[in-house]
Every structure is written in structure tokens, then in C-alpha cells.
Amino acid sequence: MTGKSEKLISLLGGQPVIPVLKVKDAADAVPLARALAAGGLRMIEITLRTKDALEAIRRVAGEVEEAIVGAGTVLDPKQFAEAAAAGSKFIVSPGVTASLIAAQGDSEVPLLPGAITPGEVMMALEAGISFQKFFPAEQAGGTVFLRSLASPLAAVRFCPTGGISALNAPEYLAVPNVVCVGGSWVAPDEMIREGKWDMIESLARQASELKPI
């Protein structure tokens, strides 16, 4: 395990699920992060899929001490820099590119890049990134595919995301090269829109207690 990947796994602190969030209104970010942390999910990913995403990250980083906020759906070095400047503690990308690898080389902030094929996994590994996102997990072959990467690419650990829910998460957590899973099921759009923070806290609590099956 290499430096920044190790740092990211230790920040995660054994949390089994990273919520993947779409925050449409920055005003929702703080109560949302507080609810998730109260339910046991301190590390959260706010995706850059909404116009308020960077402001949401800024607010959580500044106001929610108990949360560890990262940026997701980061596609290029400009977004990497903006997300890091907003206070992201880690950066998630759906894929791996040479320019994102270069951006993380110039930054203290760890990159969790997406990879599926052995070639993509090797490209990130060559850059010293041994903790990677396996995305889109279900669509790309799920746990069977992940298990088949374990022997030839033994140095790599994964956070699978894409199509994962409370139902199949335990199967993923049982795969030896899986550290945690990511998913949006913990904070559904309509619950955020309606400010159902208690329900999100309870979904987070269930997710934080998930164990390998």
C-alpha cells in the first residue's frame, strides 16, 4: 500500500460505506453531513454533478467537524484544484487519466480513481495509487470480476461503486480486495429534497453496521 492510498484508507477508519451524494441546494449540505455522521458515516463524497456542489463541500469542510468530505465526479485537473481548494480531503473520479494522475502528484489530497480493466488498474498502480474505485461495479461484472483481479493485481484494494445497495453490499464487503463500498442509496434525492434528516441518519446507521456476508 502506498503513501496517499494508505492515508485515505486510514482516514476511512473502517467505515464500510461511503455515501455518494448529489447536493442540489448548498443549504442542505450541513444538515445532510451531520445526519450521515450521526449515523456513523463520517466520510462522504459530494459529487460535482450540481452547480452547488463546490459550495456544499466548502460548507461541510468549514462547519461539520465530524465529517470527512471529499469531492466526486472529478473529471479533470481544473475540477481537482477547485475541489481541493474548497476543502475536499479526497478526490474521487469515475476513471483514471494521465492528467488527473499528474494533478494528484502535485497535491497532498489523495485521488481515488475509477478503474475496471487490468490495464486501468495498472495505470493507476504505476502512479502509486493502490486504493482504487471499481466503477461501475455491478454493470462491469461485480464481485466475480473483482475476485478475478485479486491474484494478478494483489497490491490493489478497491472501493466498488455503481449499483450497490444495502442488499448486495455485504457480498462486496466479503471480497478480500474490497475495503469499502460506495453508493447513493444512503441519501436518496427525495429525502434530501424533503429534509428527512432522521430517515437519512437511520439509513446511514444501517449502512455503517453492514458486515461481510
Residue 100 CB contacts under 8 Å (≥ 6 apart), including other chains: 74, 75, 76, 77, 80, 93, 111, 113
Q: Residue 132, CB half-sphere, CA atoms under 13 Å: how many?
A: 35
CB of 108 to ligand 3PG, least distance (A): 23
Which residues sit at the interface with ligand 3PG, rule CB under 6 A? 20, 72, 135, 161-164, 182-185
CB of 120 to ligand 3PG, least distance (A): 16
Active site residue 6: no
Between the CA atoms of 158, 159, 160 and 163, what dihedral angle is there, to the nearest 10 degrees? 180
Catalytic residue among 133, 194, 196, 201: 133
Active site residue 171: no
Provide the pairing of β-strand 111-113 with 91-93.
parallel
Between the CA atoms of 166, 169, 173 and 179, what dihedral angle is there, to the nearest 10 degrees? -90
CB 39 within 8 A of CB 32: no
Rama region for 156: left / alpha / beta (φ>0; ψ in -120 to 50; rest): beta
Q: Toward ligand 3PG, which CB reaches closer, 62 or 92?
A: 92
Residue by residue, what is the 3-state secondary structure of 46-71? Answer: EECCCCCHHHHHHHHHHHCCCCEEEE
CB of 151 to ligand 3PG, least distance (A): 25
Q: Toward ligand 3PG, which CB reaches closer, 108 or 199?
A: 199
Q: Toward ligand 3PG, which CB reaches closer, 87 or 163?
A: 163
CB of 48 to ligand 3PG, least distance (A): 10
CB of 45 to ligand 3PG, least distance (A): 7
Residue 147 CB contacts under 8 Å (≥ 6 apart), including other chains: 175, 176, 177
Provide the pairing of β-strand 91-93 with 181-183.
unpaired
Catalytic residue among 22, 45, 89, 201: 45
Q: Toward ligand 3PG, which CB reaches closer, 145 or 185?
A: 185
Q: Toward ligand 3PG, which CB reaches closer, 108 or 190?
A: 190
Residues involved in catalysis: 45, 133
